[in-house]
């Protein structure tokens, strides 16, 4: 796949979400329009019933008009029920499609989307933002029905009386706009204060997440004090916001009520003058009340569309993020020999690094600067391409190879390699359908972990392996890497949380298990270094002294300093 194929036209997100669901949105909107039109007809029919049946005492007319009322209700009820379902399904499906597209982008083999963004932020784009973009489909249906309701009511009003109709149609929208404008600064302030109000929840969750740390230093009272402060600040902000909202609501009621008084006064005079009928007066008053519904709905529609657009921008920003590694579609030559070379590589702190690992070698790298070690691991995993120079597998530059196919040959287990929700066995077998799993369990010394878990290999690890201790997690991650049985395996500080005896055992077993296969360990642990065929000291961004661990311990002071505590 070329990197260009990843890009999605900006702004296309919102249009795509609607266009992809156009049938559902069209059908749903049509039904919601029918519903709103039916709602608009109810006061008209009630007015007609009073005028034609109650005033005249005509029982037949009563039957007819009640029949009309029943049919209207049946239509509005059924069309609401199914119209809402259509637009909701359109909304949910569009959000689901976006969510998957986002997941694909974040997990794409060429990377570049998730780096440098906190997981929580990514989660909120894939959940709330995707939902908000999808909801635009509901907004379209509701907006269309509001327009229809306004149109029907307007037509009915103009039919009754040009004067009354004109008064309502010319007077009411500006009035509602006025209410909206009066309220806007208040509502805006309310929104920013709501954000502060949410703060208290964040503080509480944070304190509980750090509860052990907090108890360890006896900071309970300080924590309670801090929470009380933020809770009181939240309360004050919320009350200011609530006051603003109450004022807006009150002003709205006052102004629409006053307008109704005006309509009643003028309408009453028209009836008294014999210019309109009594039923029409009742309908006009009813319609004025009805109209405030769809009219104020339009302001929500505008607001929701704006929110949908903002969310679509965030979604597009993530989908469009440039890939971290470009180029390369070839597959590594089968079967891979497993020779890895770095030539004149510049990347972060690496400054002209040349490194040659032959096929089947068990090599270790000690970095005097931990950041250089991390940069090397990043390049070997092809999480990034070097600024200059090249990384090669069996003589072919990484940049010519397809990243996924390359990683099937070169497996890199990062220092903070994440485990996944699921059973221990799921985690171990994820990248290893083969029979290496049992041998890997032994080599990584995971037997005691398996024994301690209720259910053994089938035990659920829970969120990212949180049920395990740091040392246990590390050993399971190591076992997963070993089980993958790759031609080249890169391990970064795999045993920092493991005790010395276990570490020495692991070092020897890893060496045996990987015999004949290329293994590169980036570490400063003497136990792992001693097990390597050859150790390379990485100093000043370049390869320095090379030799066995023992040789280097004897002859190189820098090496001793880097390895010994």
Partner 1 sequence: MTLAYEQLPVAAAPQTRRAALALARPRRLALAAAAALVVGTAAGLAVPAILGHIVDLVTDRRGVAELTGPAILLLAAAVVQGVLTAVGQALVARLGEGALAELRERVVERVLMLPLQRIERAGSGDLVARVSDDVAEIAEAVRQALPRMASSALIVGLTLVGLAALDWRLALAGLVAVPIQAHTLRWYLRHSAPVYAAERRAAAARAQQLLDSVSGAGSVRAFGLAPDHIARVERRSLDALALTMRAVNLITRFFARLNAAELLGVAAILSTGFVLVRSGQITVGQATAAALYFIRLFDPINILLALVDDAQRAGASLSRLVGVTAMDPPDEPPAPPRPADASVVLQDVRHAYVSGYDVLDGIDLEIRPGERIALIGVSGAGKTTLARVVAGIQRPTAGRVLLGGVELAQLGRAATARSVGLVSQEVHVFAGTLADDLRMARSSAGDDELAAALERVGALEWVRALPDGLATAVGDGGQRLTAQRAQQLALARIVLADHPIVILDEATAESGSTGARALEAAAAAALEGRTALVVAHRLTQAAAADRVVVMESGRIVEQGTHADLVTADGPYAALWSAWSDGRNA
Which residues inside 255-314 make contact with partner 1, applying CB under 8 A? 255-258, 260-262, 264-265, 268-269, 271-273, 278, 281-282, 285-286, 289
80 binds partner 1 (CB under 8 A): yes
C-alpha torsion angle, residues 131, 133, 135, 140 (rounded to 10): -170
Note the helical H segments in 361-432: 370-380, 403-409, 424-429
Q: Which residues inside 10-49 make contact with partner 1, applying CB under 8 A?
A: 42-43, 46, 49
127 binds partner 1 (CB under 8 A): yes
447 binds partner 1 (CB under 8 A): no
Smallest separation, CB 76 to partner 1 (Å)? 7
Cβ-contact 448, 505 below 8 angstroms: no
Between the CA of residue 138 and those of 14, 84, 87, 148, 291, what are the distances in Å?
Answer: 13, 8, 5, 15, 20
Contact pattern from residue 204 through residue 243 relative to partner 1, giving x for each residue in contact according to CB under 8 A and a dash for the rest: xxxxxxxxxxxxxxxxxxxxxxxxx--xx-xx--xx--xx
Smallest separation, CB 124 to partner 1 (Å)? 10
Q: Which residues inside 480-509 make contact with partner 1, applying CB under 8 A?
A: 480, 484, 493, 496-504
52 binds partner 1 (CB under 8 A): no
d(CA 40, CA 51): 18
- Residue 375 tokens, joined: 């940069």
Span of 145-153, 181-189, 295-303, 462-470 interacting with partner 1 by CB under 8 A? 462-470
Those residues with Cβ within 8 angstroms of residue 200's Cβ, 6 or more apart along the chain or in another chain: 227, 230, 231, 233, 234
Q: Pick one of 3, 11, 250, 516: the residue that binds partner 1 (CB under 8 A).
A: 250
Smallest separation, CB 69 to partner 1 (Å)? 6
Short-list 362, 363, 360, CA closest to 338: 360
Smallest separation, CB 247 to partner 1 (Å)? 5
Query: Read out DSSP for 436-465?
Result: HHHHHHHHTT-HHHHHHSTTGGG-B--GGG
Q: Which is nearer to partner 1, 293 or 356 (CB)?
A: 293
Cβ-contact 163, 266 below 8 angstroms: yes
Cβ-contact 315, 125 below 8 angstroms: yes
Q: Which is nearer to partner 1, 99 or 132 (CB)?
A: 99
Q: Which residues inside 54-73 make contact with partner 1, applying CB under 8 A?
A: 54-55, 57, 59, 62, 65-66, 69-70, 73
Those residues with Cβ within 8 angstroms of residue 38's Cβ, 6 or more apart along the chain or in another chain: 72, 73, 75, 76, 79
Cβ-contact 249, 292 below 8 angstroms: no
550 binds partner 1 (CB under 8 A): yes
Contact pattern from residue 102 through residue 121 relative to partner 1, giving x for each residue in contact according to CB under 8 A and a dash for the rest: -xx-xxxx-x--x---xxx-
512 binds partner 1 (CB under 8 A): no
Q: Which is nearer to partner 1, 181 or 221 (CB)?
A: 221
Q: Pick one of 29, 311, 321, 524: the residue that binds partner 1 (CB under 8 A).
A: 524
d(CA 49, CA 43): 10
Query: Read out DSSP for 264-283?
Result: HHHHHHHHHTTSS-HHHHHH
Span of 10-18, 21-29, 81-89, 389-397 interacting with partner 1 by CB under 8 A? 81-89
Q: Helix, strand or coil for residue 397?
A: strand
Q: Which residues inside 345-384 make contact with partner 1, applying CB under 8 A?
A: 367, 370, 381, 383
Q: Which is nearer to partner 1, 4 or 120 (CB)?
A: 120
Q: Which is nearer to partner 1, 181 or 273 (CB)?
A: 273
411 binds partner 1 (CB under 8 A): yes
Q: For residue 173, count CB atoms less than 10 angstroms from its CB and return exposed for 0-12, middle for 13-18, buried for 19 or more.
A: middle
Smallest separation, CB 528 to partner 1 (Å)? 9
d(CA 61, CA 50): 10
d(CA 151, CA 302): 18
Q: Pick one of 24, 99, 180, 314: the residue that binds partner 1 (CB under 8 A).
A: 99
Smallest separation, CB 344 to partner 1 (Å)? 25
Q: Pick one of 10, 96, 184, 188: the residue that binds partner 1 (CB under 8 A).
A: 96
Q: Which is nearer to partner 1, 245 or 400 (CB)?
A: 245
201 binds partner 1 (CB under 8 A): yes
Short-list 403, 431, 404, 405, CA closest to 417: 431
454 binds partner 1 (CB under 8 A): yes
391 binds partner 1 (CB under 8 A): no
53 binds partner 1 (CB under 8 A): yes
Smallest separation, CB 151 to partner 1 (Å)? 21
d(CA 42, CA 220): 62
The backbone torsions φ and ψ at residue 77, rounded to the nearest 5 degrees and listed phi first, read: -70, -50
The backbone torsions φ and ψ at residue 492, rounded to the nearest 5 degrees and listed phi first, read: -110, 115
d(CA 417, CA 481): 10
Q: Pick one of 27, 30, 64, 122: the residue that binds partner 1 (CB under 8 A).
A: 122
170 binds partner 1 (CB under 8 A): no
Q: Which is nearer to partner 1, 347 or 492 (CB)?
A: 492
Number of residues that bind partner 1 (CB under 8 A): 169
523 binds partner 1 (CB under 8 A): yes
d(CA 244, CA 562): 63
Q: Pick one of 417, 437, 450, 476: the residue that binds partner 1 (CB under 8 A).
A: 417
8 binds partner 1 (CB under 8 A): no
85 binds partner 1 (CB under 8 A): yes
SS3 per-residue string spanning 415-432: CCCCCCCCEHHHHHHCCC
Cβ-contact 87, 29 below 8 angstroms: yes
Those residues with Cβ within 8 angstroms of residue 500's Cβ, 6 or more apart along the chain or in another chain: 527
Q: Which is nearer to partner 1, 177 or 261 (CB)?
A: 261
Smallest separation, CB 441 to partner 1 (Å)? 16
448 binds partner 1 (CB under 8 A): yes
d(CA 365, CA 492): 9
């Amino acid at each position: 796949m070329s990197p260009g194929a990843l890009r999605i036209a900006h702004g296309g997100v919102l249009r795509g979400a609607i266009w992809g669901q156009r049938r559902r949105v069209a059908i749903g909107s049509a039904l919601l329009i029918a519903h709103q039109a039916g709602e608009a007809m109810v006061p008209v029919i009630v007015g007609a019933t009073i005028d034609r049946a109650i005033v005249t005492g005509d029982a037949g007319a009563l039957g007819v008009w009640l029949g009309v009322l029943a049919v209207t209700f049946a239509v509005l009820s059924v069309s609401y029920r199914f119209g809402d379902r259509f637009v909701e399904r359109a909304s949910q499906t569009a959000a689901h499609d976006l969510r998957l597209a986002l997941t694909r982008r974040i997990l794409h083999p060429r990377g570049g989307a998730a780096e440098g963004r906190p997981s929580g932020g990514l989660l909120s784009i894939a959940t709330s933002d995707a939902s908000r973009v999808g909801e635009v489909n509901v907004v379209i249906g509701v907006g269309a029905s509001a327009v229809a309701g306004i149109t029907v009511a307007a037509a009915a009003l103009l039919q009754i009386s040009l004067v009354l109709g004109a008064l309502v149609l010319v007077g009411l929208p500006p009035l509602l706009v006025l209410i909206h404008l009066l309220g806007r600064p208040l509502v805006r302030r309310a929104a920013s204060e709501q954000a502060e109000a949410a703060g208290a929840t964040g503080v509480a969750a944070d304190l509980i997440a750090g509860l052990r740390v907090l108890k360890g230093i006896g900071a309970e009272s300080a924590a309670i004090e801090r929470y009380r402060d933020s809770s009181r600040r939240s309360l004050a902000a919320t009350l200011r916001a609530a006051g603003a909202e109450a004022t807006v609501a009150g002003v709205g009621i006052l102004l629409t009520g006053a307008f109704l008084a005006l309509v009643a006064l003028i309408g009453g005079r028209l009836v008294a003058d014999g210019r309109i009928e009594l039923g029409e007066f009742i309908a006009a008053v009813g319609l004025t009340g009805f109209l405030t519904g769809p009219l104020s709905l339009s302001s929500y529609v505008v607001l929701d569309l704006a929110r949908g657009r903002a969310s679509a921008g965030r979604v597009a920003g993530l989908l469009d993020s440039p890939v971290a590694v470009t180029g390369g579609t070839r597959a590594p030559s089968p079967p891979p020999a497993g020779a890895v070379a770095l030539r004149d590589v510049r990347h972060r702190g690496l400054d002209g690094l040349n490194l040659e690992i032959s096929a089947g070698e068990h090599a270790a790298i000690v970095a005097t600067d931990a950041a250089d070690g991390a940069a090397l691991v990043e390049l070997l995993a092809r999480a990034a391409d070097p600024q200059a120079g090249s990384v090669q597998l069996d003589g072919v530059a990484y940049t010519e190879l397809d990243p996924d196919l390359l990683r099937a040959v070169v497996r890199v287990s990062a220092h903070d390699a994440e485990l996944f929700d699921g059973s221990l066995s799921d985690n171990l077998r994820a990248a290893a359908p083969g029979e290496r799993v049992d041998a890997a369990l032994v080599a990584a010394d995971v037997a005691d972990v398996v024994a301690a878990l209720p259910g053994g290999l089938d035990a659920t690890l829970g969120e990212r392996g949180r049920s395990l201790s740091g040392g246990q997690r590390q050993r399971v991650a190591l076992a997963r890497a070993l089980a993958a049985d790759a031609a080249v395996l890169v391990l970064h500080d795999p045993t920092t949380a493991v005790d010395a005896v276990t570490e020495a055992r692991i070092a020897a077993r890893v060496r045996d298990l990987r015999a004949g296969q290329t293994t590169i360990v980036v570490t400063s642990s003497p136990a792992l270094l001693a097990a390597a065929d050859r150790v390379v000291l990485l100093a000043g961004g370049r390869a320095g002294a090379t030799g066995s661990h023992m040789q280097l311990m004897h002859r190189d002071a820098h090496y001793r300093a880097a390895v010994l505590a």
